[in-house]
């Protein structure tokens, strides 16, 4: 299993307040500073742990481990949310390259997890510090990134 998924699984398992992503959705709704948009089905947020500028996390609101567990309605809304996030990014950064990462629980896995999508715009390069330490330096606070993106985001 890829290390990224293993690390996330450990984070889900260690978290004691239920599901870490369901808790993230609730916590981010309180002041909304890092939220691009949210509706009954999905939330798009610039997570407080963002390692790179304008990194986004798109979370289905229903607690589903596997992408294939989600309802057609949730999947359709996730698709629209990805599109709308990319439109907002394009408004600010033009035709920027990006990576979309779908993280879903491993096949038959029944432990703690909640599938989600990462959106990483390729706006900066990793240099010696990041490569040497594995510690990312993010020059744009997620609150600022979210504020800018919110202004240009279409209503989801």
CB 81 within 8 A of CB 59: no
Min CB(110)–Zn ion separation in Å: 14
Does residue 34 touch Zn ion according to CB under 5 A? Answer: no
Does residue 43 touch Zn ion according to CB under 5 A? Answer: no
Task: Give the one residue of 21, 35, 42, 78 binding Zn ion; rule: CB under 5 A.
Answer: 21
Question: Helix or strand or coil: residue 148?
Answer: helix
CB 44 within 8 A of CB 58: yes
Does residue 61 touch Zn ion according to CB under 5 A? Answer: no
Task: Give the one residue of 33, 90, 103, 150 binding Zn ion; rule: CB under 5 A.
Answer: 103
Does residue 114 touch Zn ion according to CB under 5 A? Answer: yes
Question: CB-based contacts of 46: which residues, under 8 Å, 6+ apart?
Answer: 34, 36, 54, 55, 56, 57, 142, 143, 145, 146, 149
Q: Which residue is nearest to Zn ion (CB)?
A: 19
How is residue 34 written in tokens?
């890092």
Number of residues counted as binding Zn ion (CB under 5 A):
6
Q: How far is the C-alpha of 57 from the C-alpha of 115, rounded, in Å?
A: 11
Does residue 19 touch Zn ion according to CB under 5 A? Answer: yes
Kindly tell me which of 44 and 148 has the beta carbon lying closer to Zn ion.
44
Does residue 22 touch Zn ion according to CB under 5 A? Answer: yes
Dihedral, CA of residue 72, residue 79, residue 100 and residue 156, to nearest 10: -130
Does residue 63 touch Zn ion according to CB under 5 A? Answer: yes
Which residues of this protein are in contact with Zn ion, per CB under 5 A? 19, 21-22, 63, 103, 114
């Amino acid at each position: 299993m890829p290390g990224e998924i293993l690390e996330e699984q450990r984070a889900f398992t260690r978290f004691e307040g239920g599901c870490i992503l369901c808790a993230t959705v609730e916590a981010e709704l309180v002041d909304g500073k890092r939220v691009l948009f949210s509706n009954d089905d999905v939330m798009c947020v610039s997570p407080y742990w963002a390692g790179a500028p304008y990194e986004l996390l798109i979370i289905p609101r229903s607690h589903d481990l596997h992408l294939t567990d989600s309802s057609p309605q949730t999947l359709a809304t996730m698709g629209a949310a990805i599109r709308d996030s990319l439109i907002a990014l394009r408004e600010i950064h033009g035709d920027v390259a990006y990576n979309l990462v779908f993280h879903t629980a491993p096949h038959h896995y029944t432990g703690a997890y909640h599938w989600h999508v990462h959106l990483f715009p390729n706006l900066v390069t990793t240099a010696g510090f990041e490569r040497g330490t594995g510690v990312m330096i993010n020059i744009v606070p997620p609150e600022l990134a979210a504020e800018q993106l919110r202004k240009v985001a279409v209503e989801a």
